[in-house]
């Protein structure tokens, strides 16, 4: 074989390789546009997926949804959707350009006729297609002409349009001017579906017949129509291009991802459709192609396509989705700027090496210090745990099995490091945070201010007893954390705020009727009675007030905040204590005896009853002197027979007058200055429960006779102590109330205990 023969073979091989490479590239491009085996072009119009023409030879559909199924007329090379010509499909913008007919009406000796042309039903009725309000205009052409763009969507009709009147005057009509004479245009509202265009003429348009006997209305893509005066005689267009927005699916991006139906492929993002129906896909920055195609978007080689800002192509290095500008080998600097690269200076490397060594030593030292601090923190937690009685709690065996011990780290995480935005209450004994445990349980975490190291054993015993309390009207103590300097207590979370808010907040007060007040008072009395008498060791709350009575989602009362509570030894009836409590609720006898007893809780509960009845705060400097102290004011109202006038507006009606009087009598008994004369919480709870039970029977409200019968049925009441409406002389012990009113003045001089 000669030299020429060898050259021929080499050239042939090169051409074959080039042809194969071209075919391969063409296949890649085709894959990026349409599905395998599907038509990718019709005439000059590309058909990108999710659009497609029919099915493949294997029976696979070439389109994503039925509304994207197109037809290609091979003879005319025209692409249609139904009877509409598709002239362009834009994947990145989610738009398609289509040719739509012009509405035309010409004079035929019948005045007032109109011509209506509906835009293709297949497009405008499909939620996947909407007319682009941004890229189109609605235009009417003619003299004495009006045009409408009508839409029917969600069983509602709405229209927009414009009119033009010439009155035979052609002097003001100018080419290119569509401002209202001879031609008018308006913007298109968004999300128009089931659209039709309508054109008509006014009956007195004969003055324009000489130069204009036809009127036109149409939707057209921006910058695709320019008005000419000659169009008044004849508009040369039967169809004009209109831009449609399209979207895929019928759910939002989030919903389609959750359902596993999202069609956005690799290196693309999902965007909710502005039409409110479905979504569209878009390639990420630095990628190109068809985001709906199974192959997804491919990386743009900015270096080969010169879409970079480097000094030269040699400085450019392509990365996935981006690029970087490098300096030539042996140089350093900024590869983006001219003369940005220069020969390497080894001095910076020496400096960097030295700095790296120093940083390594510094990091090592820091790690050693952090390890030391971590061990120190662990020992400190162990110290606090032992100091706060943790070992005592563990030694209690079965008695402590109901008390869960939380770690400090879990409670810190539950409260987002005790974020101030999670504070739901502050008191004299600490701050309460809302927290969410790892199991999603919402809790209230109380961070106390102080702790008495001499009462650790008593504190642990109290935690054990409180965690065993299982009363529906007492806030449940779930556990504690003893790894901090001051123990943390974890309670169940009560969601509806405090009784104080519902009494004194005008927005909540409207939904707080007498029946709810009586029920909450009864539930609270029952809880306090349980603490005093039914618990394994009697407990005195010592800070009973409306702010410590919480309401859950069903407005059930929950007694809370046992920060001041103490056990009552079984052989004692009183507790010597430091000054504490809340001003306005504090037992006046306490200032003489320095002792808080079960009867102290009774007095505080009496103030709560007065608060429920009157809606007034227990102590307020803003009011007149006689109304400063609620207990004193309430007793004076009972004594002077003006109780009903002192009630909070909205709670009194003909059906509950007797119940309110009964509760007021209980409150006066609870507010007696001498503790021995006050009823027990058990007696108060029984009497309130009796009032609730009696109120459920119709015969309770049958007059004063039945009212007197009820008085004898209640266990505490005595006829000499009754307050009957309308008899202020015989129903009171005047001497007793005078004594009460006199002694109540001692309260005003007391300092606040919280």
C-beta of residue 41 within 8 angstroms of C-beta of residue 48: no
Q: What is the pTM of this model?
A: 0.47
Predicted confidence band at 2 (pLDDT cuts at 50, 70, 90)?
very low
As a whole-number percent, the residues of the chain with pLDDT over 70 amount to 77
Tokens 């390789």 correspond to 17
What the block records as the tokens of 596 is: 């808080």
Rounded Cα distance, 46 and 33, in Å? 8
Is pLDDT of 707 > 60?
A: no
The enclosing H or E element of 477 equals strand 477-481
Residue 674: phi, psi to the nearest 5?
Answer: -90, 125
Helix (H, G, I), strand (E, B) or coil at 263: coil
Go through the domains of the chain in sequence order and give each one's CATH number: 95-246 (2.60.120), 390-492 (3.30.200.20), 499-569+588-748 (1.10.510.10)
Using only C-alpha atoms, what is the Rg of the chain? 44
Residues composing the chain: 754
What are the backbone angles phi and psi of residue 517, rounded to the nearest 5°? -65, -45
Name the DSSP letter for residue 750.
P
Tokens encoding 141: 């052409």
Closest alpha carbon to 126 in 195, 188, 190, 189:
195
pLDDT in tens, 528-580: 999 988 766 788 888 899 999 999 988 999 998 775 566 554 444 444 444 45
- The residues near 581 (Cβ < 8 Å, ≥ 6 apart) are 542, 543, 564, 587, 590, 596, 600, 604, 753, 754
Neighbours of 237 (CB within 10 A): 15
Of 70, 37, 25, nearest to 51 by C-alpha is 70
Taking the C-alpha atoms of residue 124 and residue 118, their distance in angstroms, rounded to an integer, is 9
The answer, yes or no, to whether residue 748 has pLDDT greater than 60, is no
Q: What is the pLDDT of residues 21-59, one digit of tens each?
A: 333 334 444 447 899 999 999 999 999 999 999 999 898
pLDDT of residue 512: 78
Report the first-to-last Cα separation within the chain, whole angstroms. 113
E-only strand ranges, 108-228: 114-118, 129-131, 136-141, 145-153, 156-164, 183-186, 195-201, 214-221
Token reading at 343: 């020969």
Q: Which of 190-204, 538-552, 691-705 has the highest mean pLDDT?
A: 538-552
* 156-186 pLDDT, tens digit each: 888 999 999 887 777 888 899 998 889 999 9
DSSP string, 481-520: E-SSSS-EEEEE--TT-BHHHHHH-HHHHTT--HHHHHHH
Residues 6 or more apart whose CB falls under 8 angstroms from that of 629 comprise 584, 618, 619, 744, 747, 748
How buried is residue 85: exposed, middle or buried, by Cβ count under 10 Å (0-12/13-18/19+)?
Answer: middle
pLDDT, residue 576, reads 45
What tokens does 259 get? 């359902």
- Alpha helix locations (H) across 570-653? 590-593, 598-614, 630-639, 643-646
CB-based contact 530:509 (threshold 8 Å):
no
pLDDT value at 5 more than 50: no
120 secondary structure, DSSP code: P
Tokens encoding 735: 């001497």
Verify whether residue 543 is a known catalytic residue.
Answer: yes
Position 330 scores a pLDDT of 72
Q: Which of 497, 504, 499 is nearest to 517 (CA)?
A: 499
- Is residue 70 within 8 Å of 87, Cβ to Cβ? no
Q: pLDDT-derived band of residue 485, with 50, 70 and 90 as boundaries?
A: confident
Nearest CA to 668 out of 617, 577, 602 is that of 602
Q: Who wins on pLDDT, 428 or 320?
A: 320
CA dist., res. 301 & res. 322, Å (int): 8
At 168 the pLDDT is 72
* Weakest mean pLDDT among 12-16, 46-50, 194-198, 350-354: 12-16
Find the helix packing angle between 630-639 and 657-670, rounded to 10°.
Answer: 120
- Cα–Cα dist 291/47, whole Å: 14
Percent residues over pLDDT 90 in the chain: 40
Phi-psi region of 662 (alpha: psi -120 to 50; beta: other; left: phi over 0): alpha
Q: What is the mean pLDDT of the chain?
A: 80
**Which token pair is 418?**
């005790």
Mean pLDDT for the stretch of residues 191-211: 72
Per-residue HEC secondary structure of 660-680 comes to HHHHHHHHHHHCCCCHHHCCC
Assign 83 to helix, strand or coil: coil
Report whether 156 contacts 217 (CB < 8 A). Answer: no
At 284-310, the pLDDT tens digits run: 999 999 999 999 999 999 998 888 888
Examine the pLDDT at 63 and tell me if it is beyond 90: yes
Using a 10 angstrom Cβ sphere, with 0-12 exposed, 13-18 middle and 19 or more buried, the burial of residue 581 is: buried
Maximum C-alpha span of the chain: 144
> In angstroms, rounded to a whole number, what is the distance separating the alpha carbons of residues 332 and 335?
8
Strand-strand pairing, 214-221 and 195-201: unpaired
DSSP 275-338: TSSSEEEEEPTTEEE-TTSTT-EEE--TTTTT-S-SSSGGGEEEETTEEEE-PPTTEEE-TTST
pLDDT at 397: 61
Cα separation, 236 vs 214, whole angstroms: 12
For residues 748 and 295, which has the higher predicted lDDT (pLDDT)? 295
583 or 422: whose pLDDT is higher? 422
From the list 144, 543, 561, 587, the catalytic residue is 543
Average pLDDT over residues 394-423: 83
Q: What pLDDT score was predicted for residue 689?
A: 94
User: Which residues lie closer than 8 Å to 552 by C-beta, 6 or more apart?
Assistant: 494, 495, 496, 558
Distance CA 377, CA 512 (A): 50
Structure confidence by residue, pLDDT tens digits, 120-161: 655 656 788 889 999 999 999 998 889 999 887 777 888 999
Is 449 annotated in some ligand binding site? no
**Which parts of 671-733 fold into alpha helices (H)?**
681-695, 704-713
Residue 126, token pair as written in the block: 């499909």
Kindly report the number of other CB atoms within 10 A of residue 74's CB atom.
8
pLDDT value, residue 346: 65
Q: How crowded is the C-beta side of 189, counted as CA atoms within 13 Å?
A: 15
Pairwise CA distance, residues 556 & 16, whole Å: 87
Does residue 749 have a pLDDT over 70?
Answer: no
Give the span between the Cα atoms of 693 and 696, in whole angstroms: 6
Name the pairing type of β-strands 69-73 and 52-53: parallel
CA–CA separation, 108 and 200 (whole Å): 12
Give 687's DSSP letter: H
CB atoms near residue 14 (< 10 Å): 10
pLDDT in tens, 359-398: 999 999 999 999 888 888 888 888 888 877 777 777 766 5
The residue among 336 and 442 whose pLDDT is bigger is 442
């Amino acid at each position: 074989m000669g030299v020429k023969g060898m050259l021929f073979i080499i050239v042939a091989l090169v051409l074959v390789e080039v042809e194969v490479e071209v075919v391969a590239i063409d296949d890649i491009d085709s894959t990026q546009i349409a599905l395998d085996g599907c038509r990718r072009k019709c005439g000059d119009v590309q058909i990108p997926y999710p659009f497609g023409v029919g099915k493949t030879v294997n029976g696979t559909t070439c389109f994503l949804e039925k509304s994207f199924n197109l037809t290609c007329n091979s003879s005319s090379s025209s692409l249609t959707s139904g009877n509409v010509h598709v002239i362009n499909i834009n994947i990145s913008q989610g738009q398609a350009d289509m040719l739509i007919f012009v509405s035309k009406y010409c004079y035929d000796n019948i005045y007032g006729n109109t011509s209506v042309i509906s835009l293709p039903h297949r497009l405008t009725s499909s939620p996947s297609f909407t007319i682009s309000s941004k890229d189109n205009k609605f235009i009417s052409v003619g003299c004495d002409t009006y045009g409408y763009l009508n839409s029917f969507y969600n069983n509602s009709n709405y229209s927009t349009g414009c009119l033009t009147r010439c009155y035979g005057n052609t002097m003001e009509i100018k080419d290119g001017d569509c401002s209202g004479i001879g031609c008018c245009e308006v913007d298109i509202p968004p999300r128009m579906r089931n659209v039709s265009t309508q054109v008509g003429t006014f009956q007195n348009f004969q003055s324009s017949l000489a130069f204009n006997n036809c009127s036109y209305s149409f939707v057209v893509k921006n910058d695709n129509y320019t008005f000419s005066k000659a169009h008044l005689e004849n508009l040369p267009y039967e169809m004009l291009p209109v831009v449609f927005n399209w979207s895929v699916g019928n759910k939002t991006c989030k919903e389609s991802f959750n359902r596993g139906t999202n069609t956005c492929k690799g290196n693309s993002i999902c965007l909710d459709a502005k039409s409110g129906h479905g979504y569209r896909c878009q390639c990420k920055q630095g990628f190109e192609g068809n985001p709906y195609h199974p192959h997804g978007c491919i990386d743009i080689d900015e270096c080969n396509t010169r879409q970079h800002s480097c000094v030269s192509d040699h400085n450019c290095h392509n990365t996935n989705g981006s690029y970087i500008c490098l300096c030539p080998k042996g140089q350093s600097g900024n590869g983006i700027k001219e003369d940005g690269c220069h020969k390497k200076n080894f001095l910076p490397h020496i400096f960097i090496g030295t700095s790296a060594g120093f940083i390594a030593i510094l990091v090592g030292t820091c790690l050693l210090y952090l390890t030391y601090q971590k061990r120190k923190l662990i020992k400190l937690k162990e110290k606090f745990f032992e100091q706060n009685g943790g070992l005592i709690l563990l030694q209690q065996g079965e008695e402590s099995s109901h008390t869960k011990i939380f770690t400090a780290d879990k409670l810190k995480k539950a409260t987002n490091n005790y974020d101030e935005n999670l504070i739901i209450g502050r008191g004299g004994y600490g701050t309460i945070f809302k927290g969410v445990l790892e199991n999603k349980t919402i809790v209230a975490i109380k961070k106390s201010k102080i702790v008495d190291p001499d009462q650790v054993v008593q504190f642990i015993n109290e935690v054990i007893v409180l965690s065993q309390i299982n009363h529906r009207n007492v806030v449940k103590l779930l556990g504690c954390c003893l790894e901090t300097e001051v123990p943390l207590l974890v309670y169940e979370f009560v969601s509806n705020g405090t009784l104080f808010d519902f009494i004194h907040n005008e927005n909540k007060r409207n939904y707080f009727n007498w029946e709810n007040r009586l029920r909450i008072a009864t539930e609270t009395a029952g809880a306090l009675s349980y603490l005093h008498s039914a618990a394994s060791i009697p407990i005195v709350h010592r800070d009973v007030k409306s702010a410590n009575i919480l309401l859950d989602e069903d407005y059930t009362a929950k007694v809370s905040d046992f920060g001041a509570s103490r056990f009552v030894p079984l052989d004692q009836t009183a507790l010597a204590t430091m000054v504490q409590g809340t001003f306005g609720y504090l037992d006046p006898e306490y200032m003489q005896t320095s002792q808080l007893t079960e009867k102290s809780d009774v007095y505080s509960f009496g103030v709560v009853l007065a608060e429920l009845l009157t809606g007034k705060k227990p102590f307020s400097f803003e009011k007149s002197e006689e109304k400063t102290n609620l207990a004193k004011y309430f007793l004076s109202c009972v004594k002077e027979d003006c109780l009903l006038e002192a009630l909070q507006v909205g709670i009194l009606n003909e059906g509950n007058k007797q119940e309110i009087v009964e509760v007021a009598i209980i409150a006066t008994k609870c507010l007696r200055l001498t503790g021995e004369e006050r009823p027990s919480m058990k007696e108060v709870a029984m009497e309130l429960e009796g009032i609730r039970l009696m109120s459920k029977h119709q015969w309770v409200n049958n007059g004063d006779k039945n009212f007197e019968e009820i008085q004898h049925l209640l266990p505490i009441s005595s006829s000499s102590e009754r307050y009957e409406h309308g008899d202020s002389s015989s129903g009171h012990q005047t001497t007793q109330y005078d004594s009460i009113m006199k002694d109540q003045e001692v309260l005003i001089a007391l300092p606040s205990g919280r």
